[in-house]
Structure 1
Amino acid sequence: MVGLRERLTDGLYGLGWGTVRTLPEPVATRLGRTIADAAWRRRGAGVRRLESNYARVVPGASPERLAELSRAGMRSYLRYWMESFRLPAWSPERVREGFEVKDLHHLTDGLAAGKGVVLALPHLANWDLAGAWVTTKLRTPFTTVAERLKPETLYDRFVAYREGLGMEVLPHSGGSAFGTLARRLRDGGLVCLVADRDLSASGVEVDFFGETARMPAGPALLAQQTGALLLPVTLWYDDSPVMRGRVHPPVEVPGTGSRAEKTSAMTQALADAFATGIADHPEDWHMLQRLWLADLDPAKDPRKRTA
């Protein structure tokens, strides 16, 4: 049964890249919104989790407000997928015009310095479009990491898709990704990592919207070990076809403390930058999974503690 479900998932993604990419853009937009609204009305586990996560981001929000946010969130999530299915067919001009970013100088100055740059992003808007813009507009290749999906053919689809956008894609598992990323940075290259969720034992605990979550240590460790610049990036949609973004100021390596203490402080700084972008555009944060430790272990939920 699991094998059948995996093959079905792989087939659906293949259908998306093979069919949605050929649709006129207005048709794809309407299709995405229709699917999003249907999923929102069903109120499955993903939609309920999305509302639970938004309740942390917008404290005190009424059930009606959370419902509005989750509907907008599902529409944003499906916009991401419709764009992603169509990105391989976009012209270079369409890619260049599809993204506008504030404070880009943090990135361009860092690359010009030749020390390497790590861009760290949360699951906001369309990080694949941002990556395609970097390789097309800035003509800068970069390296990223992808989770090994099942079945293997689905993972291969995602790797081929992102490599087609100009990215070097390394598998998350296997243990060699960190060393390769470090080499790219020491050579003055660019590394881009989605970094707002880590459920592994190596994740760093951070304060995120007033509660404890766990985020990956990789971006901070890479910056420490290679001397690369660590830049948070946040993205969002507005009512236009153009995605917006901001490159935040560099996260500095603390001058004192152990490696673990420095990693903790730098990862917290990333979390704070992510929180700023998410709070401004919560509907574009596509977090349909559990994130906070209180949701993973109810015993850690401060809202359930008694005096």
Structure 2
Amino acid sequence: MDERVAELAYAAGWSAVRHAPESVGRAVFRGIADRSWRAHDEGTRGLERNLRRLLGPTATEARLRALSRAGMRSYMRYYYEMFRLSAMSDEHILGNTRATGIEVLEKTVAEGRGVVAALPHMGNWDHAGAWITLRGTPLTTVAQRLRPEGLYRRFTAHRESLGMEVLPLTGGADTVATLARRLRAGGLVCLLADRDINGTGVEVDLFGERARVPTGPAALAMNTGAALMPVSLWYDGPYWNIRVHDEIPIADGSHRSERVHRTTRELVRVFEGAIAEHPEDWHMLQPIFSRDQDDDRIRRHRRETEAALRSLEHRGGRGR
């Protein structure tokens, strides 16, 4: 799809979701999820590759398919509610959220110590950000730059309208330095931390297999003295659920990289338990396991090579 067309399509969908009756909007997004699941499209296949590790080798195909259907519905619920958040009342957001452990996080920030809240791609992280800002704790987060640029700006403006400070993952000012300043000033930084996007992460064990995850949360906590607190999110009927887990202490080690790696490994262990409790709300459709990433690179290289050969053949044909 042309980038300008994609941007206009998202803008139109955003407006429609905000103004359509809620029952209609939810039904539409549930239908989108079911169509993707029945077609067994690329996103569904990616989700199932990840869920297969969680379920283990003895899980039946029927069990995997049932879980992936619930997962796609949860994923589309996230998108529907993300689009609609700015139209929800503060009372609705606050009244339909159930949280545990939040008092410790808020007390830590109130006492002047920064907090790195590290989250897996679970539940609705946009809602969680809006919810905690409504409770009086501002936050800073990082967003992956999307294409087209106009779409990225729309997503950023949406999150900023909910009270979040949003920094670009790439292509902006020194994002890491800004995050460190916020933490040293006693602020809250929220980071999605179960997928290595920029290729600088480390390998850890996840559901019995090697996976690559970012080290940013552990490194920021170690460098600034901030508390590293895992946060898990899931749905329960009409409710949003948030759990702030116990702080993860920075691990010992003879080298900085060793300490960061060990701390990241402990963070992922918490993620592993939280995801296993609510696997249908883990919205991970992209490759995160090392074996899948290697296969994905091979497929991408093959596609690029074939495209280049077709282009050469096309130019050669025109020259004859």
Name the TM-score, length of structure 1 as normaliser: 0.92
Map 1:3-22 onto structure 2 (within 5 A): 4-22=1-19
How far apart, CA to CA, are the structure 2 residues paired with 1:55 and 1:210? 11
Measure how far apart 1:140 and its partner are: 1.1
**1:272 equivalent in structure 2:** 269
Q: Is the 8 A contact 1:254 1:262 kept in 2?
A: yes
Counterpart of 1:115, as a letter, is: R
Q: Which residue of the partner structure matches residue 122 of structure 2?
A: 124
Distance across 2 between alignment mates of 1:277 and 1:58: 14
1:94-117 Cα deviation digits (max 9, x unpaired)? 111232111222312211221101
* Deviation per residue, 1:182-235 (Å, 9 max, x gap): 000111111000110004342021111111111111101110111000100001
Aligned-pair CA distance for 1:257? 2.6
Cα-to-partner distance string for 1:112-144 (whole Å, 9 max, x where unaligned)? 2211011000100100000000011x2111100
> Counterparts of 2:66 and 2:265 in 1: how far apart (Å)?
30
- 8 Å CA contact retained: 2:37, 2:72: yes
Tell me what 1:207 maps to.
Answer: 205
Partners in 2 of 1:155 and 1:230 — Cα distance? 28
Q: Deviations over 1:265-288 (max 9, x none)?
A: 111111111111110111111111
Counterpart code for 1:177: T
Amino acid at match of 1:55: R
Cα drift, residue 298 of structure 1: 4.9
Paired residue for 1:191?
A: 189
Asked whether the equivalents of residues 106 and 137 of structure 2 are also in contact (C-alpha less than 8 Å), the reply is: no
Q: Equivalents in 2 of 1:148, 1:256: separation in Å?
A: 34
1:113 alignment partner in structure 2? 111
- d(CA) in 2 for partners of 1:272 and 1:98? 28
Q: CA shift at 1:12, angstroms? A: 2.3
1:106 touches 1:250 (CA, 8 Å); kept in 2? no
Aligned pair partner of 1:237 in 213, 235, 238: 235
Give the SS at the match of 1:170. Answer: strand
Whether the 8 Å CA contact 2:168–2:175 is kept in 1: the answer is yes
Q: Which consecutive residues of structure 1, in runs of 5 or more, have no partner in the other structure?
A: 300-307
Instruction: Output the amino acid matched with 2:185.
Output: D
In structure 2, what is the Cα distance between the partners aligned to 1:267 and 1:164? 31
* Structure 1 residue 38 displacement after superposition: 1.2
SS of 1:297 mapped into structure 2 = helix
3-state SS of paired residue (1:214):
strand
Q: CA deviation at 1:181?
A: 0.3
| Secondary structure of 1:192's aligned partner | strand
Note the alpha carbon deviations across 1:24-82, whole angstroms, 9 max, x for none. Answer: 22222211111111111111111111111100011121100111011101100110011
Q: How many residues align?
A: 294
Whole-angstrom CA distance in 1 between matches of 2:162 and 2:33: 26
1:290 aligns with 2:287: yes
2:213·2:288 contact (CA, 8 Å) conserved in 1?
Answer: no
- Report the equivalent of 2:62: 64
Deviates more, 1:105-114 or 1:283-292: 105-114
SS at match of 1:135: helix
TM-score, normalised to structure 2's length? 0.89
List alignment gaps of at least 5 residues for structure 2: 297-320
Amino acid at match of 2:254: G
CA distance in 2, matches of 1:198, 1:291: 7
Question: In the alignment, is the contact (CA less than 8 A) between 1:106 and 1:248 conserved in 2?
Answer: no
Q: Does 1:163 align with 2:160?
A: yes
In the alignment, structure 1 residue 222 sits paired with structure 2 residue 220? yes
State the distance in 2 between where 1:229 and 1:126 align: 22
Distance 2:75 2:152 in 1: 20
Larger-Rg structure: 2
Does structure 2 retain, via aligned residues, the 8 Å contact 1:132–1:166? Answer: yes
- Tell me, what secondary structure is at the counterpart of 2:93? helix
Q: How big is each residue's C-alpha offset from its partner over 1:235-284, in whole Å with a ceiling of 9 and x where there is no partner?
A: 1112x211112111001012443110110011111111111111011111
User: Do the aligned partners of 1:144 and 1:191 also contact (CA within 8 Å) in 2?
Assistant: yes
Moved more, 250-259 or 77-86: 250-259
Residue range with higher mean Cα deviation, 102-111 or 151-160? 102-111
Q: Letter of the aligned partner of 1:97 in structure 2?
A: G
